[in-house]
Chains A and B, each alone.
Chain A
Amino acid sequence: MRRTGSALGVVFAVFALLATAPAWAASDDLDFYQTADREEVGTEDTFRLTVVVVDAPANAQVKLPESGDFSILSSSRSSQRSISLSGGGPAVIQDVTRHVLVMQATRAGRLKIPPSQITVRGKTYRTQPVELTVRAGRVGGAPSPGQAGRGGGRQPDPFSSIQSQMQQMEEAFGDMMEPDRPTIPRGDSDLFLRASLDRDNVYVGEQVTLSLYIYSRVDLSSVDAVTMPKLEGFWTEEVESPTQLSGEQRVVDGIPYRAYLLRRRAIFPVKSGTLSITPAEADITTGFLFAGHRVHRVSNALKVKVKPLPPGGPEDMPNAHVGNWRLSMDVSQTRVELGQPVTVKVSLEGVGNVKNVTPPALKGPAALKIYDPTTTDKVSPQRHRVQGRRVMEYLVMPQRTGSFTLPALEFTYFDPRARKYEVARTDPVTITVEAGAGGASSIASGAPQASSDQANEQKNVLTAGGLRPVRYQARFEAPGVPVWKRGFFVPTVLAPLGLLLGVALIGGVRGRLALRSEAGRGRQQAKAARKRLADAEKLQSSGDVGAFYGEVEKALHGFLEARLGMPVVGLTREVLAEKLTAGGADAERRAKVLFVLEACDFGRYGGGGDPAERQKVMDAAAAAMEGWA
């Protein structure tokens, strides 16, 4: 039900209605048109189509446009009755019914919204179709005031100035704010609870602002309890929570209301899909003192269409890395003494989910010991957008002297306004560590453990471990082949064996050949004779004198036969001397031979027992054989 003015106005209206009822019922002058709030939209934008019927009878059937090119996200209906009294004539009553459709195009192109229809007493009226230019993606921009055609004559809009103000705000805030256009609930038109979103089609991690208002046409005393919606699938951050009710004037479908903000929250969807926001509830006390009474109100439910982040970003990028960010790294000092700490602040500043964003971790060489950071957040929402700074403060303790570089940091995020991934970077920072002037001895005395720790901090700590460096010199060579697989190995191993066998073979052959000749036989006999003489030497010391001399004589005879090539046993001394001369023996050798033979004859028959004599015979026999090839 709708209140339209004061009690006096109601009385006038009733009279006027009764006076004009017949004419009204018979009137065919029907004003019926539809308008869109934009001429150009994107496929990701929503727009409003308003279908207006003026002075339609109660049983009129309105058929709203249907098209496959557009989807209707929500629809609402409102009606307004105005009574004008002028010039003493009958009161003019006008009923205006508005159907507001929130629509979205399903494809790009020049599309046409088909006409709406209304059937009154069997007669069908149609509006003009509305043509829109639809582009892919999001065009944004504020709705243009009431263009996009209309079927009948345009009605003057008494709230155009307010709409203009809203439009200016929207332009100022860009895509940051969309004006709420509440629909008045039928049962609670004087006091209702309204939940609204600044946008309902976002990316994962992109902020949506949820506002909860009380719209009231009566005086409020207090709000006793507020139950906020269940926000499953969202990470929330309080943006505004007034402690006192402060109303502002708003006009809803031509009806002025006081709007009181109860809560405003930034909500960040953490998953894609269509996420539901349950209705909020509030207990409100109206009136003053004893005249007041308490009512319970439930707001409207909401839905948010959440798109996944587009491909092209890092695989493991958290959902919170959405927004617009700047990364910086501040170092307290770049030249420091060994043992003195350095503070490094890694700051991430910008618009987005500040408390959930994760700045890149600081890494550095092993010579810089980096302790776990402490994190501080500073959130300062502006124009209902969560923004601020997250700072990770690291304590870096140099462990060695030298120059060490903290590498550049990178932070990849998705910018929903630019619809692309961006990378915020810092520059690398070089820290020079110098030896301390005082050394460990300069540390003030305190607890022994603390002193020890401090002393360690000032030492140039050279810890084993880590990778050994690459070699700076190389010997370039083909892949190694084992020695035993190389070509020379087997021949070298077999060659000595072959050589030895060859020598033995040759020796054997030569021996056999030598046995077949006279000279060879001679040499064999001479060799046997020398061997026999060696045996005789063994008998020299024994008592058997005869055997000794006999053996020496046999050895000498054998040698002479070998050298002269003829038997010598039985030859007279003269003949033997001649043969020796003929065989090439000189006089001295001949004399020794004869001396030995004479001595042997003498010895075999009893003489020559003196050892010295036997030695002399032995030496003479050896001398006679020696050197006679």
Chain B
Amino acid sequence: MSGYYTPEEAQDIFLKANEAYANEDYAAAKEGYEKLLANGQGGPDVLYNLGTTHLAQGDLGRAVLALEQARKEGGQAPDLEANLSVARARQVDKVVGATAEDAFLPRVAAATDGPVVAWTFLGTWVAAFVLVLLWRLLGRGRRTAVGVLAVLLFAVAVPSGLLVATHAYVGATVHEAVVLAPTLVARELPQPGARSIFEVHAGLKVRLLEETGRFVRIRLPNGLEGWAEREGVAEI
């Protein structure tokens, strides 16, 4: 397997995988998409198709994983959200109870688009400083407009800079994952024989809190927590 495909080769693999999907040869379709991903030529479109193939095949865990990865990389899209809804409808688990309140920063990060915020900050920040320099160079009487514009740009740059810092912090500390195992037991302690608290099933989105040995502590959207085997979940 070569480490890189030319754009034409990648396109050929992609089209053949699509054709296999149309013929309901899901194994061949999956192989094609995974080949592209393994060679670093994936992207949200390939991930979306892979997730849809898994979903058609009935592999709920890997379907949700690929679709969530597609959303993480490419943002929301109508077809992506529709197939995610189908996957959620097929899930065995129904998380009941009050949704656990997220910390402030993760909520802020979830409500804002990281790349947009980052590019906004970068643009306004650089432009504001350019105007400051210009202000110094200009004589009296011509500085006012430049000064006002610079202040406005700083007014945008500073909050967006804080949002970028929030995204960076949340990205480094919050880890979301999808349950892949058909049935995953969450235990009270990170030991194989520990008391079982609850069971989750393929496709459920959980949060990884900490890891020890071959166990990870997972938290459900309603705040339920337990230790599950690491290989039963995959990080988005």
Contact = CB atoms under 8 A, between A and B. Distances in A.
Given A474-B14, A477-B42, A479-B40, A467 B129 contact: no
Contacts of B114: 482-483
Contacts of B7: 476
A14 interface: no
Contact of A468 (B83, B118, B121): B83
Given A474-B14, A499-B129, A467 B52 contact: yes
B168 A482 contact: yes
A476 B46 contact: yes
A492 B18 CA distance: 41
A581 B41 CA distance: 80
A471 B45 contact: yes
A469 B128 CA distance: 46
A471 B79 contact: yes
Contacts of A470: 18, 21, 48-49, 52-53
A122 interface: no
Contacts of B115: 482-483
A480 interface: yes
Contacts of A468: 52, 78-79, 82-83
B27 interface: no
Which of under 10, 10 to 19, 20 to 34, or 35 or more describes the interface residues of A?
A: 20 to 34
Contacts of B56: 467
Which of under 10, 10 to 19, 20 to 34, or 35 or more describes the interface residues of B?
A: 35 or more
B41 A482 contact: no
Contacts of A497: 129
B117 to A, nearest CB: 9
A466 B130 CA distance: 53
Interface in A486-518: 489, 492-493, 495-497, 499-500, 503
Given A468-B52, A475-B45, A478-B41, A483 B129 contact: no
Contact of B36 (A476, A495, A499): A476
**A469, A470, A477, A497 interface centre (most CB from chain B within 10 Å):** A470
Contacts of A495: 126
A480 B46 CA distance: 13
B125 interface: yes
B43 interface: yes
A476 B10 contact: yes
For the residues of B in contact with A, the DSSP-based class is helix
B67 to A, nearest CB: 11
Nearest to B72: A480
B57 to A, nearest CB: 11
A477 B45 CA distance: 10
Interface of A: 465-480, 482-485, 489, 492-493, 495-497, 499-500, 503
Interface of B: 7, 10-11, 14, 18, 21, 36, 40-46, 48-49, 52-53, 55-56, 72-73, 78-79, 82-83, 86, 114-115, 118-119, 121-122, 125-126, 128-130, 132-133, 136, 161, 164, 167-168, 171
26 contacts: A465-B86, A467-B83, A468-B79, A468-B82, A468-B83, A470-B21, A472-B18, A474-B14, A474-B45, A474-B49, A475-B43, A475-B44, A476-B7, A476-B42, A476-B43, A477-B41, A477-B42, A479-B73, A480-B72, A483-B114, A483-B122, A484-B167, A489-B122, A496-B128, A499-B133, A500-B129
Enumerate the 6 nearest inter-chain pairs by beta-carbon distance, A residue then B residue, closest first.
A496-B129, A483-B118, A474-B45, A468-B79, A476-B41, A470-B49
